[in-house]
Each structure stands twice: as structure tokens, then as C-alpha cells.
Amino acid sequence: MVGSNEQLLKSWARSQMYRPSFTSAKDAILSEYEFKQYKEKKEAFLNDIHPTIEQLAHRIKPSGSVVIISDTNSFILENIGEPKFLEDTKRIYLQNGACYSEKIRGTNSLGTVSIEKKTLAVVGKEHYLEAHHKLYCIGSPIFDPSGTLLAVLNISGYKDLYQPQMLCMIDNMARTIEDSFLIRQPNPQLILSLSSEQQPNYQALLALNEDGLITGANREARNLLNLETLIPEKIHIDDVLIGANSILNGEVHKGLIFLHKKDNEQSRLLCSIWHDSRIPLFTFSKDNSQSKPSVNSKQPMRNNNDAFNNIYGEDEVFQKVIDTARNASSTNYMIMVTGESGTGKDMISQAIHYSSSRSNKPFVALNCGGITNSLMESELFGYEAGAFTGAKQSGHPGKFEQANGGTLFLDEIGEMPKEMQIALLRVLQDFTITRIGGIKPIDLDVRIITATHTDLWKKVQEGSFRSDLFYRLQGVRIMLPPFRERTDRLNLAELLLKQVEKELENKTLTFSAEAKHLIGTYTWPGNVRQVLGALREAAFLSKDGLVDIDCFPTYILSSYQQPKIKNSSLKHKESQEIIEVLKKTDGNISESARILGIGRTTLYRKIKKLSNFIDE
């Protein structure tokens, strides 16, 4: 019997129209092979949220419940929790690869939340199928920074163990995941925290790029500013808020200021800077006396002498890359920067620009893989007033015009659609463009730098990238080494840790010996970008400022093999050292861990093994 909840009433109406049955549920399960292929497409997302759902599973373990992640099609991607409950629910096919859409299962939190896009509890007979009446399930949507539904986070257990406060818990957890996605967007960004005076604890997060364009927002910000879903970098902060220029121009660094909604100037909002990554990796010089770029500069790499001085690198291969890039900066050659994702292609490209004679002109970037085909032409070439429905009345300059006199950086050039490759080739032949809807050609003076993490020549051979454009773009090729192959990776990680230390404020951070070994031996497929993200999480979880191996993300530890000491005499020596330090500190675990250079959790683990060593 369904109650008066509006979402449940609408769901039951839909379910009665679909007429699902338990027989259809049995048939709507992916085979093991199908599920493996299906899940692989979601692997990056699942790796990102795995630490959070493990934490949630641990919190609800006493209630005999499980945590479930389903995608937008309501297929279960992962479930972890109480083994007995999972065993009991096999008969209703609560398993990976099972579809829980309303068409298949009727009203249930996984399927219904994916439609309603709101947090919802379904308890007992509120489920449409009788087979689910003994259960409760609570689902909450997970949105990406643009407001698009990514997945549904769910907890499920026996209906007698349902507690209303669980609804708030899972809703908060889903919002925490969304906020982490927002802060971990790859490009430099400024994140503002907004709240109304009527709701001072209401934290809405709004992300902006260096030009003040909105790149993302959490659901509170979308609700507060009536943004709903948004297309990244299509709305300027001035279009929705009055008074934000003081932040963008660097007049405000910390503290609260008042802003006003554009559509309601009477509505005052409290605003503060919540996170600022507009200078990514550009101050990693060992020489701290060197001048650093201003936090507020829209051209963060600019240096009157040599922007490459702000890039740390003692690895021999990396130094040769820097030398090549520095020499190339004095020319007007086209440059192609290659390397795995996260190796610093954008960083090197900006250094080339700001070390060149064009440094006082714009550096303009466009991610060719992050924009739809239909929008790319207007992004590159701009448009005249009234060129199409929704066009600004004043028209709009494209990236080529914005970069005139300076540098245009085309990131992920290998993802550019075929039709746009033809258009780009025409521009590179005579360096003139014509806006969409215009008739007057515009002469350009632009230096082109491209970047890709793929084998572009292989794409040429496959036919997905034009050979004539490939040859045109080949001026100077700069190939960045992956982090795992750099001999200076530990030093670089320590410099990154110093940056994290500044972000956290008043927290001195050091690596344990085991953490250093992980940094030196783990493969780091995401390279420097992954290292920085992992260090932020590890630093946040560290105790007494010691970043130990246990602080690193679960997805890293699950594939990392810790070194094993085979020599029993070495084990005995280590045990003796632990015993001596414990005696010296009168058994103070925190102090002993600090002296030994390991985390408290690691020390507890080693103490448990001491009896074995003594028996030897």
C-alpha cells in the first residue's frame, strides 16, 4: 500500500502502466560476459567513488544492509555489504548486472530515483513487486558538475531495520561525491561557496574558469541560481550574479562578500572562495626565492625571464624535453605536445607561450574532446549577430579571434571531428577565418600548439584523422615522459605535497617510508594529475601530519603490492627497533609512529606481529 508521497504515487501510476512481473525481472540480467563489458565503460567512475561507498558500507554494516550503485539505466554495477543479506536476496536477483528499472521491477529506489532524480525511500509494501515487500531501499541521485545524472547511490536492507535518518545520511553522501567531482575537474578553476542570508549553512558551490565562465555547479548552486542542467563554459558569472568581478579581478582573496542574483537584486548571497586551482603545477621550482606568478593573474605562467624556471624537473629525459620546448618558444613553429593524460601538456604549452615574444598576448585553450560537434565551429570561428537561434545580439568572437597575436592551444586534437579537421586545414593554409553568418574574412596572427595523449599517426592510418592536417601540424614535436618513468618522481611528489600543505593551511606534512615506496613503485596511470589528487586525499586523512600508505585512495592500494621482507633477521631488527622506541616513549603510539616514520595504523599492525618475531 503506497502512502501519500508524490514521487511514489507517480511511480505506482507508471508501474501499473508498465505491468512488470517477477518473471521479467529474472530475464533482465546481464550475462557474466555482458556485465564485464558493460562495467568496463563505467570503470573510471566506479574507481572514483569506491572509497566513499566502502566508507558508507562500513557505517551501515551493523544494520545488516548493503550499498548499491546503479547507472542511469538502473543496472546494478556494484554492491557491497552484509554477506548474509546478499545471500538471502539472491532469490530476488539483487545482484550485479540485474536491471531494476521501473519497467522491469516497478516502484523501487534504484529505478524510481533515476526517473524522479530526487532522494527517495521505498519501504516494504511501497515496492510494486510483492517479492520486494520485506525490504527497504533508499536511493539518492549522483549528478556530474553540469547537472547530468551519472548514477544512483542506494542502501538496502530488511524493512524492520529501516530508520528515517538513513535518508538524510545517503543524501549527504551523494552530495559529497558530487562536490568531489566538482573540485577534481581537470582544468584550472575557481570554486565559490554561496549561501543565502536566510540559510547561512546552505553551501552552494559554483566553479568558474579563468575567464569567469561557469564550468560546473553542485545541485545546491543549480537550485539557488536556477541553472538546472548547464553547458560548461556557456554562461558567464556576470549573467547570473552581480558583484563577482571583485573576486575574479583578485580584489578579494578570503573572507565573505555580498553578491546579488541577476534576476533578483534584492536577494543577497554570502560568497567566499572555497577552492582555487587556477595555478596548476606552475610553481614547482626548488628555488623558493624565485618570483611566483600571481594567484590573480589570468596569465599565470607569465615570467619576464623564462617561464620554464617555474617547472620542476631533475629527470634527464624531462630536462631534455624542457630544453626542446624552451628552444621552440623562440620560434613561430607549430608545436605538437604528446604524452599520457596528466603528464603536463597544458603546463608545457603555457610555458612555451609565456617564454615567447607573444607573452603579452592571449593564451587561449580549447579542448577538442570536451565540446560537441555542433558547437565546435562557433567556438573556433565565432558568429555574427542573429547567425542562429540563441546567438548573442552582439555576435561572439571565436577562439581564433580571441587568440589573435598570441597562442591557440588545441588540446586533444585527435578528438576533433572530421568535418572540423577540414575547416582547420583551410585556416592553416592562409590564416584567415570568417565568422558563422558573416561574409568578411578576418586575418589572423596566431601560433598553434596542439596536444594529444593518443597515437595520432595511428589515427591517420585508421582513417579517423586527415593525413594532410597531420603533416601541417608537425612543426616541433615534444613528448612528455610518464610520471612512473621519471627518476625525480619522489622529489616531485614532495613538492606537490608542499602545495597541498599550503591548501590545508597550518598543517605540516611528511611522507612515511612506506608511502615513499608506493610513490616510487606504483604505476600512476593518471600521472602527475593522479598523484596530486591522491596526495590531497592522503593529506586530508593523515594523522599528526604523517602521510602513510593507509591514507592513500583505496583504488590505488587494491592494485599495489607492498614490499615483503624475506630476511627474518631484518624482520627481527625492525621488531627490536619498534620495541626500543615504545619503551622510550612509554608506549605512546602517536609519538612512536612519528619517530619510526610510519602511521599509527601501520604501527598497530606491526605490534600485532611482534609475538611471532619473538617466538623466532
> Cell digits for 381?
570561428
- Domain range for 338: 307-479
- The pLDDT of 39-64, averaged and rounded, is 81
Specify if 231 maps to a domain. Answer: yes
Q: In the structure, what pLDDT confidence band is assigned to residue 612 with cuts at 50, 70 and 90?
A: very low
> Cell digits for 476?
616541433
Query: What pLDDT is recorded for position 4?
Result: 56
- Select from 438, 457, 479 the last residue of a domain: 479
Q: In the structure, what pLDDT confidence band is assigned to residue 616 with cuts at 50, 70 and 90?
A: very low
Angle, CA 612 vertex, CA 610 and CA 616 arms, to 5°: 115
Instruction: Identify whether the C-beta of residue 449 lies closer than 8 Å to the C-beta of residue 410.
Output: yes
Specify if 301 maps to a domain. Answer: no
> Cell digits for 507?
598543517
Q: What is the CA radius of gyration of the chain?
A: 27
- The pLDDT of 590-616, averaged and rounded, is 67
Q: In the structure, what pLDDT confidence band is assigned to residue 197 with cuts at 50, 70 and 90?
A: low
Instruction: Summarize pLDDT for 458-504 with one digit per residue, the tens.
Output: 999 999 999 989 988 988 899 999 999 999 999 999 999 988 888 88
Least confident range from 337-346, 362-371, 432-441, 572-581: namely 572-581
507 and 407 share one domain: no
Instruction: Identify whether the C-beta of residue 15 lies closer than 8 Å to the C-beta of residue 112.
Output: no
Q: In the structure, what pLDDT confidence band is assigned to residue 217 with cuts at 50, 70 and 90?
A: very high
Determine the Cα–Cα distance for residues 241 and 227; give it in Å rounded to an integer.
Answer: 12
Give the N- to C-terminal CA distance of the chain in Å, as an integer: 66
* Percent of the chain residues past pLDDT 70, beyond the cut: 84
Q: How far is CA 77 from CA 31, 43, 65, 99, 402, in A?
A: 13, 10, 17, 10, 44
Instruction: Identify whether the C-beta of residue 52 lies closer than 8 Å to the C-beta of residue 177.
Output: yes
Q: State which H helix or E strand residue 150 sits in.
A: strand 149-158
128 and 228 share one domain: no
- Collapsing DSSP states into helix, strand and coil, what is residue 75? strand
- The pLDDT of 192-204, averaged and rounded, is 70
Least confident range from 178-182, 304-308, 403-407: namely 304-308
> Cell digits for 287?
628555488
Q: In the structure, what pLDDT confidence band is assigned to residue 282 with cuts at 50, 70 and 90?
A: very low
Q: Grid coordinates 577538442 are at which residue?
A: 368
What does DSSP say about strands 264-276 and 135-143: parallel, antiparallel, or unpaired? unpaired
Q: In the structure, what pLDDT confidence band is assigned to residue 299 with cuts at 50, 70 and 90?
A: very low
Spatial CB neighbours of 88, under 8 Å, sequence gap ≥ 6: none
Query: What pLDDT is recorded for position 283?
Result: 35
249 and 219 share one domain: yes
> Cell digits for 307?
617561464
Q: In the structure, what pLDDT confidence band is assigned to residue 286 with cuts at 50, 70 and 90?
A: very low
> Cell digits for 143?
549528478
Query: What pLDDT is recorded for position 614?
Result: 43
36 and 122 share one domain: yes
Query: What pLDDT is recorded for position 277?
Result: 65
Query: What pLDDT is recorded for position 410?
Result: 94
- The pLDDT of 132-137, averaged and rounded, is 93
> Cell digits for 460?
591517420
165 and 198 share one domain: no
Query: What pLDDT is recorded for position 296?
Result: 32
CATH of residue 594: 1.10.10
CATH of residue 251: 3.30.450
313 and 456 share one domain: yes
Query: What pLDDT is recorded for position 502?
Result: 83
Q: In the structure, what pLDDT confidence band is assigned to residue 544 with cuts at 50, 70 and 90?
A: confident
Q: Higher model confidence: residue 363 or residue 189?
A: 363
Query: What pLDDT is recorded for position 413?
Result: 94
The amino acid present at 156, given as its one-letter code, is S
Q: In the structure, what pLDDT confidence band is assigned to residue 506 with cuts at 50, 70 and 90?
A: low
Reduced DSSP (H G I as helix, E B as strand, rest coil) percent helix, strand, coil of the chain, to 5: 45, 20, 35
Query: What pLDDT is recorded for position 609?
Result: 64
pLDDT at residue 388 greater than cutoff 90: no
Specify if 283 maps to a domain. Answer: no
- The pLDDT of 63-82, averaged and rounded, is 90
pLDDT at residue 239 greater than cutoff 90: no
Spatial CB neighbours of 426, under 8 Å, sequence gap ≥ 6: none
- Select from 479, 502, 531 the last residue of a domain: 479
Specify if 297 maps to a domain. Answer: no
Determine the Cα–Cα distance for residues 171 and 149; give it in Å rounded to an integer.
Answer: 14
**Residue from 352, 195, 355, 332 nearest 274 by CA:** 195
Query: What pLDDT is recorded for position 201?
Result: 54
Query: What pLDDT is recorded for position 263?
Result: 66
What's the number of domains the chain is made of? 5
136 and 12 share one domain: yes
**Residue from 227, 226, 231, 81 nearest 153 by CA:** 81
> Cell digits for 560?
599495489
**Dihedrals phi, psi of 27, to nearest 5 degrees:** -85, -15
pLDDT at residue 13 greater than cutoff 90: yes
Least confident range from 46-50, 410-414, 538-542: namely 46-50
Determine the Cα–Cα distance for residues 30 and 25; give it in Å rounded to an integer.
Answer: 11
Specify if 300 maps to a domain. Answer: no
124 and 256 share one domain: no
Q: Higher model confidence: residue 154 or residue 200?
A: 154
pLDDT at residue 2 greater than cutoff 60: no
Least confident range from 8-12, 255-259, 489-493, 554-558: namely 255-259
- The pLDDT of 265-278, averaged and rounded, is 71
Specify if 177 maps to a domain. Answer: no
Determine the Cα–Cα distance for residues 115 and 94; give it in Å rounded to an integer.
Answer: 20
Residues in the chain: 616
Specify if 284 maps to a domain. Answer: no
- Select from 170, 205, 240 the last residue of a domain: 170
165 and 243 share one domain: no
141 and 76 share one domain: yes
Determine the Cα–Cα distance for residues 144 and 181; give it in Å rounded to an integer.
Answer: 7
pLDDT at residue 615 greater than cutoff 60: no
Q: In the structure, what pLDDT confidence band is assigned to residue 409 with cuts at 50, 70 and 90?
A: very high
Least confident range from 98-112, 248-262, 374-388, 476-490: namely 248-262
Determine the Cα–Cα distance for residues 526 and 335; give it in Å rounded to an integer.
Answer: 23
Burial of 204 (0-12, 13-18, 19+ CB in 10 A): buried
Q: Higher model confidence: residue 497 or residue 604?
A: 497
Instruction: Identify whether the C-beta of residue 445 lies closer than 8 Å to the C-beta of residue 406.
Output: no
Least confident range from 90-94, 220-224, 319-323, 610-614: namely 610-614
Determine the Cα–Cα distance for residues 277 and 295; give it in Å rounded to an integer.
Answer: 9
pLDDT at residue 253 greater than cutoff 90: no
Determine the Cα–Cα distance for residues 451 and 467; give it in Å rounded to an integer.
Answer: 16
Q: In the structure, what pLDDT confidence band is assigned to residue 613 with cuts at 50, 70 and 90?
A: very low
Determine the Cα–Cα distance for residues 397 and 608; give it in Å rounded to an integer.
Answer: 67
227 and 343 share one domain: no
* Percent of the chain residues past pLDDT 90, beyond the cut: 35
13 and 162 share one domain: yes
Q: E-strand spans in 332-429?
A: 335-338, 363-367, 407-411
Specify if 590 maps to a domain. Answer: yes
Axis crossing angle, helix 165-183 with helix 43-60, rounded to the nearest 10: 150
